[in-house]
Chain A
Amino acid sequence: MSDGLAGALAPRPEPRWATPARGAALPLLLLAAWQAWATTQPDITRAPSPVQVAATFVRLTASGDLPVSLLQSLGRVLGGFAAALVLGIVLGIAMGTSRTVRAAVEPIVESFRPVAPMAVLPIAILWFGTGTPAALSIVGYAAFFPLLLNTVHGVSQVDRTLLQAARTMGVPRLRILRKVVLPASLPSILLGARLALGVAWTAIIAAELAVGAKSGGGGSGGIGAMMFVFYAYSIDLNGIVACMIVIGLVALAIDRLFRGLERRLTPWRH
């Protein structure tokens, strides 16, 4: 039985190698077209090309500029994420287990949720200036919501018969929390953590870009600020594209890392 609905509509056999070959076709074609287009552009336009992007990437890595900026951004993400992790899970479990806490906190959470981290950035700048504390608070704010909501979701979805079973076996309430509720909601919490880290990564780029843009380039480092400098001062499009690719790779790595972690920590689901 073949995969896909097309299979159900009209079954058709396929050679094994066909799929990866097709997958490579479009990206390679686009790269070639891009390179061809770039070579026709006069130098003055500073049009980026795949070859030059690769060269820029090597240069930035060798000079240490890119690794340093990347580490700076990652450090901020991890700091903000750690704070959100603690806050989100604790509050999430409280909201998931207590109707009162939930009713009290939910409307406030809900009214902040449609407010993008970037909309809070001006306030963060007013409060903390343009340095790392502002960046940390933005990252924490962004990461908090997926963590909280997934924890609440996970905790309130725990199978009630499991709780009843534990109670009939005379397990004390706090131990039920630790031995039943936590493992049962772990998949949700991990999903929340993965989403949160992804959002945090996007938020830090945005924050660094905006701080760079709005504080006249005197920003405080990070890969987003680096991109802004490439945009506003050195007009280096190859550098911008190289940064974009690095940003994408980091996002991909975060995603893969957490999926691996999910498999390790919740083996009963796979």
Chain B
Amino acid sequence: MEAPGTTDPKLRLKGVAKAFTAPRTLKRTLAVTGVDLAVEAGEFICIVGPSGCGKSTVMNMIAGLDMPSSGTIEINGVPVAGPGADRGVMFQDYALFPWLTVEENIGFGLRNGTPGNGLSRGEVEARVREHVELVQLAGSETKYPHQLSGGMRQRVALARLLANGPDVLLMDEPLGALDAQTRLILQTELLRIWGETAPQAARKTAVFITHDIEEAVFLADRVVVMSRHPGRVRAVIPVDLARPRDEHIRATPRFGQLSEEIWGLIRAEAYEAIA
């Protein structure tokens, strides 16, 4: 799974572990341990695993919101010291600012954070405009999040993520709150916006967390399967399905085989998790 070649991978996790201390009892629990992973530029990685396997913890550490207790996380060979706009995060419930309109949400980072540094007002406006259109939200710019459907909110979050121009896209179950049909549609749309039709060099690097195995197979170049107690990487499954992918790929035998293989790795623990 280590990438060949001399240059650093886009994102590398080396022996990453994270322990939390309970506030009252001061008891330490190991959330994840021994996570090694190298993600190449332009690669789409999905992390799947049963609840409590530390998927979100890993993502928070990559984002710089949490620091590993041991081990290192590197972007282009540089250790992560905190949050930075080179890594954009899409949160589980989107984390849209309820008091900002669609347009203001998409432009929030550009107007108030580091992504807007060095950009003129006009450039910022143009970039916001472009991303409103990219996710087909023209006409809804002045609406507040609570006035939008779940699918539209998801697209606002995606536009905000992309407008900030990060190198690495970190997505924590971004489709989890949607109904099954909307999910299927947005999976395809996500691949289009990620740049599936472009050559790998032009694509963003993506780390996508999900509990949905078929979603992972449909989206990913490689699927990282995690197990729990403590969270660790159980297997990394390459997905050898051709791109660009469309919905028909779900009906192919290979798709079924891959899904079955991953489910086989998770099944026992998934049963444990609900027991």
Give the contacts of B18-46 with A (CB-CB under 8 A).
Answer: 20, 23
Q: A207–B183 Cα gap in the complex (Å)?
A: 64
| A1 closest partner in B (C-beta) | B20
The answer to the question of A110 belonging to the interface, with a C-beta cut-off of 8 Å to chain B, is no
- Sample 4 A-B pairs with CB under 8 A, ordered by A number: A1-B20, A1-B23, A2-B23, A3-B23
Chain B residues near A1 (CB-CB < 8 A): 20, 23
> Which chain A positions have C-beta within 8 A of B23?
1-3
Q: A3 to B23, alpha carbons, bound, how many Å?
A: 8
Q: How many residues of A contact B (CB 8 A)?
A: 3
- B23 nearest CB neighbor, chain A only: A3
Count of inter-chain pairs, beta carbons less than 8 A: 4
In the bound complex, how far is the Cα of B23 from the Cα of A1, in angstroms?
Answer: 7
Q: State the B residues within 8 Å of A (CB).
A: 20, 23
Q: Tell me the complex Cα distance, A243–B56, Å.
A: 56
Q: Which residues of A contact B20 (CB under 8 A)?
A: 1
State the CA gap A2–B20 with chains docked (Å): 10
Binding site for B on A (CB under 8 A): 1-3
Task: Look across to chain B and name the residue whose beta carbon is closest to the beta carbon of A11.
Answer: B67
Closest to A2 in B: B23
Q: Nearest residue in B to A13 (C-beta to C-beta)?
A: B21
List the A residue with the shortest CB-CB distance to B67: A11
List the 4 closest pairs (A to B, CB-CB), nearest first: A1-B20, A3-B23, A1-B23, A2-B23
Task: Name the CB-closest residue of A to B20.
Answer: A1
Nearest CB of chain B from residue A42's CB, rounded to whole Å: 53
Expressed in whole angstroms, the Cα–Cα distance for A263 and B23 within the complex equals 23
Determine the distance from Cα of A128 to Cα of B67 in the docked complex, in whole angstroms: 70
Q: How far is the CB of B182 from chain A (nearest CB, A)?
A: 25
Smallest CB separation, B18 vs chain A (Å) = 11
With a cutoff of 8 Å between Cβ atoms, the chain B residues found around residue A3 in the complex are 23
A121–chain B nearest beta-carbon distance, Å: 44
Closest chain A CB from B135 CB (angstroms): 29
Q: Contacts of A2 on B, CB cut-off 8 Å?
A: 23
> A11: shortest Cβ distance to chain B, in Å?
9
Shortest CB distance A4–B (Å): 11
Question: Whose C-beta in chain B lies nearest to the C-beta of A8?
Answer: B65
Q: In the complex, A139 Cα to B11 Cα: how many Å?
A: 69
CA distance A2 to B23 in the complex (A): 7
**Closest CB-CB distance, B159 to chain A, in whole Å?**
25
Q: How far is the CA of A136 from the CA of B147 in the complex (A)?
A: 50
- CB of A127, distance to nearest CB on chain B (Å): 51
A158 CB to closest chain B CB (Å) equals: 25
Closest approach, in angstroms, between the C-beta of B58 and any C-beta of chain A? 16
B66, chain A: closest CB distance, angstroms: 9
Residue of A nearest to B22 (CB): A1
The distance from the CB of B168 to the nearest CB of chain A, in whole angstroms, is 22
Least distance between B31 CB and chain A CB atoms (Å): 11
Give the shortest distance, in Å, between A10 (CB) and chain B (any CB).
Answer: 10
Closest chain-A Cβ to B88's Cβ sits at a distance in Å of 19
A116 to chain B, nearest CB (A): 35
Closest Cβ–Cβ distance, residue A16 to chain B (whole Å): 9
Least distance between B207 CB and chain A CB atoms (Å): 22
Shortest distance between the CB of B56 and any CB in chain A (Å): 13
In the docked arrangement, what's the CA distance between A3 and B24, Å?
Answer: 11
Distance (whole angstroms) from the CB of A77 to the closest CB of chain B: 38
Docked complex Cα distance between A34 and B23 (Å):
38
What's the least CB distance linking A153 to chain B, in Å?
23
Bound state CA distance, A8 and B159, in angstroms? 25
- Return B14 CB to nearest CB of chain A, in Å: 23
Within the assembled complex, what's the spacing in Å between the Cα atoms of A1 and B20?
7
Q: How far is the CA of A3 from the CA of B21 in the complex (A)?
A: 12
Q: How far is the CB of A130 from chain B (nearest CB, A)?
A: 53
Expressed in whole angstroms, the Cα–Cα distance for A90 and B20 within the complex equals 51
* Distance in Å: Cβ of A246 to nearest Cβ of chain B: 35
